[in-house]
Amino acid sequence: MKAYLFGVTPVEEAFLKEWQDQHPDDEISYTHSPLTADNLELAKGFEAVSTQQAEPLTASDLEPLAAGGVKHLALRKVGADNIDLEAAAKYGITVANVPAYSPRAIAENGLTGAMYLLRKWGYYHRKMRRGDFTRPTELMSDEIFNQTVGIVGLGRIGAAAAEMYHALGARVIGYDPVYNASLEPFLDFVDFETLIKESDIVQVHIPLTPENKGMFSTNEFAKMKDDAILVNQSRGELVDTAALIVALKYHEIGGAALDVLEGEEKIFGRKFEDVGSLPDEYTELINLPNVVMSPHSAYYTKMAVKNMFFQSMTDIERTLSGKKAFFKVN
């Protein structure tokens, strides 16, 4: 097969070498840069393209890819909302993602952020940096088995999160439009309204759709407990950032663990020498003591990255040999 890989990281280079050792006849080229209108010519003459990026790929990007011979686009990630899937289908390009590379990687990261905030580590760390090693009453925390944890979205990742919290002794409730009886041993199914009102920790694991954009905003924060923790590792656009900042500042909720943010494609993956050039909302969130953030790295474990890489390459191989991709999304 002939494939061109965009946005290859140093970690992925090792997995690429492993793949090529196992498939010596494959013709594979790559770049560290994401796929953009400025470099799509690199893929000319290749049958497939693989990329992992938040930057959008529109019809004007996909048409020349197809004209250059690309038949398959393999995403080394779950989300495909940055791809114009209708245009891809129109130009004869199949698109596949990797939805099940390691659900536990993301679920564990969410649990870590929730526990960090629950046990007030951010507050203690700031105090200790100033030489204050006391334990004030307002920083007394609680234990996870006394918490009600609400999981929004009960796919592979949400299900893994529910099992983890259940194993730690928490009361777990969940909301998902699709009922899954196999999760009954780990949680109670409730409606969304009940979940946000009763949960001490709300952990979000749903895909972004036009219908659920901004589903956590002023109205929802007002209904949540004033010490509730919001954990978002799905898509930044599920949360109204401005409303979240207000809720955090005025103690309408207790804290937020965020691996994703609105407009992150312009920020995450870059290094800023002048932090003053960051958008105001990023600066505000970073400086709040009841917030912990990471740059869309919940998935970033050795196992997950390898699985994403190998699954995407397998789907390229299947598609170009006339078989159906395991994880076709258009």
61 secondary structure, DSSP code: H
Q: Indicate if 235 belongs to the active site.
A: yes
Q: What's the pTM?
A: 0.85
Residues 149-169 have a mean pLDDT of 96
pLDDT at 325: 87
Task: List 29's β-bridge partners, or say none.
Answer: 4
94 versus 276: the higher-pLDDT residue is 94
Interacting residues of 37 by C-beta distance below 8 A, sequence separation 6+ = 60, 61
Helix, strand counts (H, E) of the chain = 11, 12
The per-residue pLDDT for range 178-230, each reduced to its tens digit, is 999 999 999 999 999 999 999 999 999 998 889 999 999 999 999 999 999 99
128 versus 270: the higher-pLDDT residue is 128
DSSP E strands in the chain: the ranges are: 2-5, 27-30, 48-51, 72-75, 94-96, 148-152, 171-175, 188-189, 201-204, 229-232, 255-258, 291-293
Q: For residues 313 and 50, is the Cβ–Cβ distance under 8 A?
A: yes
**Spatial CA neighbour of 71 closest among 51, 92, 57, 89:** 92
The per-residue pLDDT for range 44-62, each reduced to its tens digit, is 999 999 998 878 899 999 9
Q: Indicate if 264 belongs to the active site.
A: yes
pLDDT at 269: 81
| Token code pair at residue 228 | 């509730």
| CA 89/CA 306 separation, integer angstroms | 28
**Spatial CA neighbour of 86 closest among 64, 63, 116, 120:** 63
Considering 235, 252, 262, 317, which one is annotated as catalytic? Answer: 235
| Token code pair at residue 24 | 């010596």
The per-residue pLDDT for range 13-53, each reduced to its tens digit, is 999 999 999 999 999 999 999 899 999 999 999 999 999 88
pLDDT at 253: 98
The confidence band for 249, taking pLDDT boundaries of 50, 70 and 90, is: very high
The answer to whether the Cα torsion of 128, 132, 133, 137 is positive or negative is negative
The dihedrals phi and psi of 274, each to the nearest 5 degrees, come to -110, 100
CA-to-CA dists, residue 141 to 117, 148, 300, angstroms: 9, 15, 29
Task: List 3's β-bridge partners, or say none.
Answer: 28, 48
Taking CB atoms within 8 Å and a gap of at least 24, the contacts of 18-25 are 19/309, 19/310, 19/313, 23/317
Amino acid at 195: L
**What is the rounded average pLDDT for all residues in the chain?**
94
Region label for 260, one of left (φ > 0), alpha (ψ between -120 and 50) or beta (otherwise) = beta
**Spatial CA neighbour of 259 closest among 205, 213, 183:** 205
Other CB atoms within 10 Å distance of the CB of residue 285:
20
DSSP E strands in 32-147: the ranges are: 48-51, 72-75, 94-96
Q: What is the residue whose two structure tokens read 């891809």?
A: 88
The dihedrals phi and psi of 74, each to the nearest 5 degrees, come to -105, 115
The confidence band for 80, taking pLDDT boundaries of 50, 70 and 90, is: confident
Considering 12, 47, 296, 317, which one is annotated as catalytic? Answer: 296
CA-to-CA dists, residue 252 to 21, 132, 172, 203, 217, angstroms: 55, 27, 22, 17, 12
288 secondary structure, DSSP code: -
Q: What percent of the chain has pLDDT over 70?
A: 100
The confidence band for 63, taking pLDDT boundaries of 50, 70 and 90, is: very high
